[in-house]
Each structure stands twice: as structure tokens, then as C-alpha cells.
Structure 1
Amino acid sequence: MNDLPPDVSRLRVLETWLEISLERVREQISVAEQRAAQQARATPPPPPDWVVQLSIGHGAHPIAVHVGGCRSAGRRGRPVSRDQAMRALTEGVDPCVLCRPDTELGIL
């Protein structure tokens, strides 16, 4: 079963429409590729200087202080200022044993 028209004039119209449609699709592919390339080139923001790691669950509380960029902070790390990091350490929050924020902050 053939679903295309039998005459040349209507087939030519379909051919023209398909060529125009194909060109539009190719243009969109080009735009999408350019956008993806720009996103790949974008540099991530720098890590914060200091991070406080929070406990799991409702009412999460600080459990460790990290130097910004320390992978041990995990997903529960929240950026803090230098003063907040120092305060947390002096109030008994544990320093990370890997990145040693206490040493970096001059608290020994």
C-alpha cells in the first residue's frame, strides 16, 4: 500500500516541504550543539572557603568543619564564613581530620 500521491506535482510539493523541514531540524541541532558546547566550557564556581557539614535528619546540626572543596563534607555541607567556621570549632564542632580546617584557621 502506497500512502504517497501518484502525481509528480504533489510529490514535488512534498519533496520541497521535507527539504524545508529537514533544514529547520538541522538548524535546531546546530543551536542545541552550540548550547551544549557553551555549557561544557563554563567553569564551575569556586568552592567556598569554609564548609560546615550537617547531620542527617530533621533538625540537622553541625557535625564537622571543613576547608572549602574538601570531598569529605559530602552533600550535607553548607558554606560558611571564616568567622562562622572559627566559632563552630571553638564551640566544639569537630574539625575534619583530612583537610584540617583548625590548622588553616590557626586554631590548634
Structure 2
Amino acid sequence: MPPPTRFKIVHRVSGGGEEYATVHQTGCKTESGEVRWVDVHEAFVALSDGVPGCTYCRPEVELGLDVG
């Protein structure tokens, strides 16, 4: 099965004021925040560069990056 054509990067600010981002698959609704839609390549690069994937929808598994 090919990976979905769209992913999203959700940007948030924690209660302590720290900014962070996570990568999600298209239909994931586990986090709210500022959403930037990205294609497969951008999601792959973000995950490869250390942006964490959502622990619920696991975009790294869909993209073949799951090493654990």
C-alpha cells in the first residue's frame, strides 16, 4: 500500500512557552495547533531531521522509517 499523499506538521506552544512540532498522517486528530499540510517528501525529511512523529498515527511507519 503506498503512503498517503498528504501529511501535516502541527506546530504548538507548550504551557511553558516552548514551541514544538509533530508530524501526523492526514486524518489524525490527536493534537490541535497551527497545521501545515506537507507532501510525502516533506514529511519524510521532517521525520528524518528529528521532528517527532505522532505516537498515535505513527507516520514514520507509513513512510518506512520505523526502526524500533
TM-score range (shorter-chain normalised) is: 0.7 to 0.9
Structure 2, unpaired ranges of 5+: 14-18
TM-score, length-scaled by structure 2: 0.73
Identity %: 32
As a proportion of its length, which structure holds more strand?
Answer: 2
- Higher relative contact order, chain-length normalized (CA < 8 Å, sep 6+): 2
Shift of 1:62: 5.4
Structure label with greater radius of gyration: 1
Query: 1:66 is matched with which residue?
Result: 24
Structure 1, unpaired ranges of 5+: 1-47
Alignment of structure 1 residues 30-41 onto 2, 5 Å:
none
Query: 1:80 is matched with which residue?
Result: 38
- Residues 75 and 63 of structure 1: is their aligned pair in 2 closer, same or farther, counting only changes over 3 Å? closer
RMSD across aligned C-alpha pairs, in angstroms? 2.3
Misfit runs of 4+, over 3 Å: none
CA distance in 2, matches of 1:75, 1:103: 23
